[in-house]
């Protein structure tokens, strides 16, 4: 299997893609990717050779990077870059973020966190493959039952998805316990759906049940920040989340969660649309049922 696939020559989501793929890049490729993400307009004006010199690498590396980013070659990356530059030009001024520091006043913390999460949402939305998403929705609608796997922070996202799906009448279960997850995965069969949520894409506790489900013939979906991670091996559909950069005070769990939740919401709304006849009454019913638990 080649580095990346299923990645359409994205127009706007380039910076996001650079960030998601950076971990799987070599040093030289990272330099190239960085240059490209940092100054799309400038790089669009350069030939392979020029960009290679600028980044202190070789033409081959530039081409390899372009490939990794999802383009057939440098030529196409360059076209995308030109488009991006034009967009930026006509668009708004770029907002600058510095990292959160230990001595940042609380107001700055709020602003930076909000900005980062907004960025994560925008990037994830831009980088989300709607075809894969649609396919996942279709599978969910038809599924006899749906299992969702996630541990740690992703476990909460799994629960969130499950709660939502249950509300509109789907048979969904979230599993945080790896053992139970696997034992339940064995019950799945063709037509059922298994969803694994893992930011790193390499969480064994989540991959294992997905593998089992995959081998049992269930339709498998991975929601991950690493479209090249091991988890995708057993995923029929991969939904990629983008993440803001992380730091000491801003652990991975935090930024990944935002993107994952967006994807989960999209799945939910997609399913609700397709099953509107039953979903709409179910939603208002659950709303009614809770009403009496609210004080006047």
Partner DNA sequence: CACCGAGCCGAAAATATCTTTCAGTGGTGA
Partner DNA sequence: TCACCACTGAAAGATATTTTCGGCTCGGTG
Q: Which residues from 50-109 bind DNA, rule CB under 7 A? A: 56-64, 66, 72-76, 78
Q: Is 96 in the site for a copy of itself (CB under 8 A)?
A: no
Phi first, then psi: give them for residue 73, nearest 5 degrees.
-170, -175
Phi first, then psi: give them for residue 239, nearest 5 degrees.
-110, 115
Residue 200 binding target from a copy of itself, DNA, none, CB below 5 to 8 Å by type: a copy of itself
| Contact window for a copy of itself (CB under 8 A) among 18-26, 28-36, 50-58, 130-138 | 130-138
Site residues (CB under 7 A) for DNA, limited to 2-31: 26-29
Q: Is 207 in the site for a copy of itself (CB under 8 A)?
A: yes
In the complex, the smallest distance separating the C-beta of residue 55 from a copy of itself, rounded to whole angstroms, is: 20
Residue 53 binding target from DNA, a copy of itself, none, CB below 5 to 8 Å by type: none
Other beta carbons within 10 angstroms of residue 95's beta carbon come to 8
Nearer Cβ to a copy of itself, position 81 or 185? 81
Q: Which residues, at least 6 apart from 66, have a Cβ–Cβ distance to it below 8 Å? A: 73, 74, 76, 77
The mark string for 13-32 relative to a copy of itself (x by CB under 8 A, - otherwise) is --------------------
Q: Which residues, at least 6 apart from 43, have a Cβ–Cβ distance to it below 8 Å? A: 35, 36, 51, 54, 78, 81
Q: Which residues, at least 6 apart from 279, have a Cβ–Cβ distance to it below 8 Å? A: 168, 169, 271, 272, 273
Residue 57 binding target from DNA, a copy of itself, none, CB below 5 to 8 Å by type: DNA
Contact 62, 71 (CB under 8 A): no
| Contact window for a copy of itself (CB under 8 A) among 30-38, 50-58, 188-196, 283-291 | 283-291
Nearer Cβ to DNA, position 82 or 125? 82
Site residues (CB under 7 A) for DNA, limited to 209-228: none
Nearer Cβ to a copy of itself, position 94 or 190? 94
Residue 73 binding target from a copy of itself, DNA, none, CB below 5 to 8 Å by type: DNA
The mark string for 36-75 relative to a copy of itself (x by CB under 8 A, - otherwise) is --------xx------------------------------
Q: Is 149 in the site for DNA (CB under 7 A)?
A: no
Q: Is 204 in the site for a copy of itself (CB under 8 A)?
A: yes
Residues binding DNA: number (CB under 7 A): 23
DSSP type of residue 175: E
Q: Write out 238-287 in H/E/C secondary structure.
A: EEECCCCCCECCECHHHHHHHHHHHHHHHHHHHHHHHCHHHHHHHHHHHH
| Maximal C-alpha separation, the chain | 70
Strand 172-175: give its sheet, edge to edge: 172-175, 146-149, 193-198, 219-224, 237-240
CB-neighbour burial class of residue 59 (10 A; exposed 0-12, middle 13-18, buried 19+): middle
Residue 226 binding target from a copy of itself, DNA, none, CB below 5 to 8 Å by type: none
Q: Is 49 in the site for DNA (CB under 7 A)?
A: yes
Contact 289, 166 (CB under 8 A): no
- Residues in contact with DNA by CB under 7 A are 26-29, 47-49, 56-64, 66, 72-76, 78
């Amino acid at each position: 299997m080649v580095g990346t696939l299923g990645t359409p020559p994205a127009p706007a989501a380039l910076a996001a893609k650079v960030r998601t793929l950076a971990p799987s890049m070599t040093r030289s490729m990272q330099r190239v990717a960085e240059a490209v993400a940092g100054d799309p307009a400038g790089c669009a004006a350069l030939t392979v050779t020029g960009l290679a010199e600028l980044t202190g690498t070789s033409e081959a590396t530039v081409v390899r990077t372009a490939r990794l980013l999802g383009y057939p070659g440098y030529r196409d990356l360059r076209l995308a870059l030109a488009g991006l530059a034009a967009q930026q030009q006509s668009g708004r001024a770029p907002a600058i973020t510095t990292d959160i520091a230990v001595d940042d006043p609380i107001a700055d913390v709020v602003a930076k966190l909000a900005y980062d999460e907004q960025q994560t949402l925008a990037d994830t939305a831009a980088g989300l493959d709607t075809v894969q998403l649609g396919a996942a929705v279709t599978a969910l609608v038809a599924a006899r039952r749906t299992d969702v796997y996630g541990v740690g922070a992703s476990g909460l996202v799994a629960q969130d998805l499950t709660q939502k799906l249950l509300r509109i009448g789907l048979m969904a279960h979230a599993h945080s316990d790896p053992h139970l997850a696997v034992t339940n995965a064995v019950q799945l069969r063709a037509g059922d759906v298994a969803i694994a949520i893992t930011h790193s894409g390499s969480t064994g506790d989540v991959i294992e049940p997905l593998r089992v489900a995959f081998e049992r013939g269930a339709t498998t979906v991975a929601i991950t920040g690493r479209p090249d991670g091991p988890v995708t091996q057993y995923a029929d559909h991969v939904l990629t989340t983008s993440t803001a950069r992380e730091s000491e005070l801003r652990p991975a769990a935090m930024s990944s969660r935002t993107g994952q939740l967006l994807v989960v919401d999209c799945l939910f709304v997609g399913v609700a649309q397709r099953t509107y006849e039953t979903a709409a009454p179910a939603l208002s019913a659950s709303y009614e049922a809770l009403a009496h638990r609210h004080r006047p």
